[in-house]
Structure 1
Amino acid sequence: MGWLADSGRTDARAFAARVARLDPGAVVRLRPAGEGAVALWSRLPWGVLVCRGVPAWVDRDRTVAARELLGPVDERVPTSRDTDWRWSLPPLPGTVVERIPAADVLRVGAAAAATLRTAAAEGVGGRPVGSRMLRDALLDHEPIVVTTEGGRRIPVSQRLVQAVIRMGFVADGSGDFVDVRISGPWTALACAYGSAWHRGGGSPLIG
């Protein structure tokens, strides 16, 4: 039996394909997550960490090229590229602050995409705006705000919304939900098929 269980191959390849589509040079960190499970981590170009668990076995944290998970996976873990991983990871699993209908998250994402298309075509206030400026403004927008029992305000930026949508993490059934989680300075959207994490001020490099 190889390091990646047959039942985890499809999910691992889907994860790797999506991150590689967004960043052809992306790496994936393989982190042991309990008996027979491995958490796949990667960083998207807009500073969000994404995670998905799959049935697999690794003896320690390893980092590999995302593209190496797309082809046939043999008995051995792909060549390690541990020095290419430069970001800290959030302490898991975090605390659930609020549970939001998945349909609301999908609606927020669709509205943002429509706004971006309109602004790109028509400008803002009649003035043309660069595509990069539009994307940055969109990602920094906070369309969802929840409050902890202690009264702490937790904003959820479009960075997280776009991450879970682009990664295909959100289930679209009428009874599906997305959890807003916090863990120290990190905020997350935890969905049916994976989670996305963002740290205020950016994801720091590992010192």
Structure 2
Amino acid sequence: MTGALAERSVTVPDARDRDDLSTFLTHAARLDPGSVVRLRRRGDSHVVAWIETGFDVLAARVIRARVLPSDVTVAADGLLSALRSAGPAPFDPGFGMDSAWRGPVPPDAGWTHVDDVPGPVFVELAERGVALAREHGTDHGPPVSLLDQDVVTVEADDEAVPVSMRMIFALNAMKFVPTVSDSSQSADDARVRVRIARSWIRLDARYGSVFRSRGATIPLMVS
């Protein structure tokens, strides 16, 4: 291994994980051809890939992999290109773009499970939202009033968690919920788990998760 590669490398031993990461990056590139991906080590054998979806929502996918250094940001299209010819050996993920990542990422721990929602509910809401966006949107995308609308409220005990259309658009755009036509998936695979932390809300689906800040910059309150 060369000196440069020893300092910055990604290793994805299993072909299935390389396929999963490639799919994740492909969807990210469709949202924004110039997007960057942040790779962060989780434990000894996993890496979390993060992207900004453009909806003020982050998307993430966990894969079995190793990354050096433990937290690096690179161009999504460059990493995707490298993955297409990569095998199980370490490879160069591309030029570091750490300064291109804006803002924090959610914590690994400290999440509270609120409830599960059938995935098709979110898919149907996304389809309705897309139809409204086409009718009322502009060249800059869907109207802000539509994006900020809370369309689902998930309740458990004394928690009532509103889920905005921003999160549903992001979940659908990243294709995280299995399609109805995928007969290999069970009803449980299609469920979306809603969790909250002090500063974040997250939706966990079969193929990845989306996160939105509950802070002052992106208001999403739980009463």
Give the TM-score category using the shorter length. Answer: 0.7 to 0.9
Q: CA deviation at 1:45?
A: 1.4
Distance, in Å, in 1 between the alignment partners of 2:133 and 2:120 is 20
Are 2:57 and 2:212, in contact at CA under 8 Å, matched by a contact in 1?
Answer: yes
Q: CA deviation at 1:133?
A: 7.8
After superposition, where does 1:88-167 map in structure 2 within 5 Å? 88-93=104-109, 94-119=111-136, 130=138, 132=140, 134-149=142-157, 151-167=158-174
Q: Are residue 77 (structure 1) and residue 93 (structure 2) matched?
A: yes
Q: Secondary structure of 2:11's partner? A: coil
Deviations 1:6-46 (A, max 9, x none): 32221112111221221222110101122321110011112
Q: CA deviation at 1:193?
A: 0.5
1:16 alignment partner in structure 2: 25
Q: TM-score, normalised by structure 2?
A: 0.78
Are 1:53 and 1:194, in contact at CA under 8 Å, matched by a contact in 2?
Answer: yes
Distance, in Å, in 1 between the alignment partners of 2:21 and 2:59 is 13
Quickly say closer, same or farther: Cα 1:66–1:134, change in 2 above 3 A: closer
Are 2:82 and 2:93, in contact at CA under 8 Å, matched by a contact in 1?
Answer: no
The structure 1 residue matched to 2:57, chosen from 23, 41, 48, is 48
Q: What percent of counterpart residues are identical?
A: 32
Structure 1: which amino acid aligns with 2:61? Answer: R
Distance, in Å, in 2 between the alignment partners of 1:37 and 1:136 is 36
Distance, in Å, in 2 between the alignment partners of 1:190 and 1:180 is 7
Q: Secondary structure of 1:71's partner? A: helix
Are 2:29 and 2:77, in contact at CA under 8 Å, matched by a contact in 1?
Answer: yes
Are 2:74 and 2:94, in contact at CA under 8 Å, matched by a contact in 1?
Answer: yes
The structure 2 residue matched to 1:170, chosen from 177, 193, 199, is 177
Is the strand fraction higher in 1 or 2? 2
Q: TM-score, normalised by structure 1?
A: 0.84
Deviations 1:67-97 (A, max 9, x none): 1122133523322211222211112352210
Structure 1 residues without counterparts, runs of 5 or longer: 121-129
Structure 2 residues without counterparts, runs of 5 or longer: 2-9, 181-185, 219-223
RMSD: 2.1
Q: Are residue 64 (structure 1) and residue 74 (structure 2) matched?
A: yes
1:192 alignment partner in structure 2: 206
Quickly say closer, same or farther: Cα 1:18–1:202, change in 2 above 3 A: farther
